[in-house]
Chain A
Amino acid sequence: MKVLVTVKEVAEADDDFSIEGTDIAESDLEYDLNEWDDYAVEAAVQLAESGVADEVVAVTVGPERAEETIRMALAKGADRAVRVWDDALDGSFPDVASKVDLFEAVVAEEEPDLILGGVQAADTGFGATGVALAERIDFEHAAVVNHLDVDADEGVAHVHRELEGGVEELTDVDLPAVLTVQTGLNEPRYASLRGIRQAQRKEIAAKELSDLGLTAADVESALTVRSMYEPESESDAEIIEGDAGESAGRLAEVLREKGVSA
């Protein structure tokens, strides 16, 4: 079985940041592997280690900078990677359908049996690409999976979907399928030194739109960010000032007023 795992390099804003135009200033952003995707990578690598998956291919949409992040997926055990980028994508706010266009083309080349990705990206938070992709490529799907057991012989993934309020839905999903993975599914490993060394020799195939049989018109986004701003604080909290000892003293007073004590 071949597993495709979608990963994204996400931007995280520093505690202090400024907004330039319709985005956070580049100097106030730090890039890292999307937390949810880390769990998807781990799930894919575990499938390889248990003999269920023969090959794990990581795929990302991102500029050259993203190679560092996708190499993390390789260091953790993915066999090779595909990185899709094109000047036509630079500076746009892609809609779900254009991301699906890109992944659809990669899926056509790779022909995976199972696609794993995170529930959402920490920066844009759409939570939609995996399920939309499944519809496009005629795969089954399950969103927000927090327990996974793949039975390759049966051609079924037994999953739990994490619903709200401490309830899990137990579902059998026919393969081929796209599963979006929730944090907590497993314990993502740290890349070993050996893994990091091996990752240097693994292939990252860079693809442009033309390599995938697409044009700039295919990935034109229906979404435009008009403005970005810091939400006004609705806080009417009493800010307890002072050093740690002073503020702890004042808070202890508040707690005693509320009748809190052992």
Chain B
Amino acid sequence: MSVLVIAEHRRGDLRDVSYEAITAGRELADERGSDLHVAVIGGDVDAFAEELNCEGVDAIHAVDDGEEFDHNAYQTAAAALADRLDAGAVVTPNSVNGLDYAPALAEALGVTLVTDAVGIDYDDGLTVTREMYGSKVETTVDVAGDRFVLTVRGGEWPPVEGVGDATVEAADVDVPESGARVTGFEEVGGGDVDIADADVLVSVGRGIEEEENLELVEEFADALGATLSASRPIVDNGWLPKNRQVGQSGKVVTPDVYIAVGISGAVQHVAGMKGSDTIIAVNTDPNAPIFDIADYAIVGDLFDVVPELIDEFA
């Protein structure tokens, strides 16, 4: 039984998670003593196949169907290849598009699905490490049987490197007409400010509790000459526009100083700001994951600390 990794691309570029998924797939293939196959579906498959020919990849299957992601094509092609290659393990990125076809793929193949893996171990059977309760705990989960679809979280495995000597072949797959048609893309978050350009960001999260309290962090940002940004809940509530959102679905920022005020540090948020030079966090919960990546930490109530900080810079 082989391991099959499905690569991901968007608007002409392979996404980094593809290379990370290959690393996870290779780990699994080594532990299961099997070959590693990689499939690339749609887009410039020949160019993508060349880029994906990294160390440890045994074979690449190029399915020339459409330009962009289409869940119907991905599911059909992945199922056909899994069948042809006797791939007991299929690995995909745990991305927005991964979650748009991997569950249907597992269902169609009649195998177990485990999503959002942060670690894997294979010894007689698969054991997956995943988080639960909003990253407060980790669990190890045993998977019965030796056939499964696994989606792997971005940033948990290093991207595969080096040039490989994989065979590359075109794979013909008959993709039926889809009942979901992509008609275009839209960039969001334009507007007056580009938070990605800021040297200093004061970023506000759920801890601010009420819209009228935003004035406090606005005043703090002004006192520092900093730009105001936010985590997802603030934007979901409509308290700040989308162009202020830091995180996976918002902007990736790398300022000199990032001050997280009342932000717990969910993985989607951290993905958007972990590259900041200096990270400062103010939060009441000493176990908040934001403190794991902070350089300076104040465990305290922002409503006590921020007014004092404003006084310091007034």
Contact = CB atoms under 8 A, between A and B. Distances in A.
A262 B221 CA distance: 9
Nearest to A143: B100
B156 interface: no
Nearest to A239: B297
Interface stretch (B21-29, B43-51, B247-255): B247-255
Interface stretch (A1-9, A14-22, A196-204): A14-22
Interface stretch (A63-71, A73-81, A205-213, A246-254): A246-254
Contacts of A161: 96, 100
Interface in B234-278: 235-238, 242, 245, 248-252, 256-257, 278
A235 B294 contact: yes
B19 interface: no
B148 to A, nearest CB: 8
Contacts, number: 269
B305 interface: yes
Nearest to A172: B181
A195 interface: no
A170 B186 contact: yes
15 contacts: A13-B134, A13-B136, A96-B112, A128-B113, A142-B100, A143-B100, A165-B252, A169-B185, A227-B139, A227-B140, A237-B291, A239-B298, A244-B301, A254-B280, A259-B256
A234 to B, nearest CB: 5
Contact of B180 (A12, A141, A165, A237): A141
A235 B312 CA distance: 27
Contacts of A262: 222-225, 313
B104 interface: yes
B300 interface: yes
Contacts of B138: 228-231
A216 B187 CA distance: 47
B64 interface: no
Given A168-B185, A251-B296, A235 B291 contact: yes
Nearest to A158: B183
Interface string A220-240: 001111111111011101111
A166 B113 contact: no
Chain A binding surface, main DSSP class: mixed
Interface stretch (B83-91, B125-133, B209-217): B125-133
B102 A226 contact: no
Contacts of A124: 132
B281 to A, nearest CB: 7
B106 interface: yes
Interface stretch (A42-50, A84-92, A105-113, A130-138): A130-138
A135 B107 contact: yes
Contacts of B294: 235, 237
A162 B137 contact: no
Interface in B132-168: 132-145
A238 B96 contact: no
Given A168-B185, A248-B305, A260-B226, A226 B180 contact: no
A222 B143 contact: yes
A142 B180 contact: yes
B299 A239 contact: yes
A208 B281 CA distance: 48
B139 A123 contact: no
A153 interface: no
B71 interface: yes
Contacts of B200: 260
A13 B188 contact: no
Nearest to A139: B179
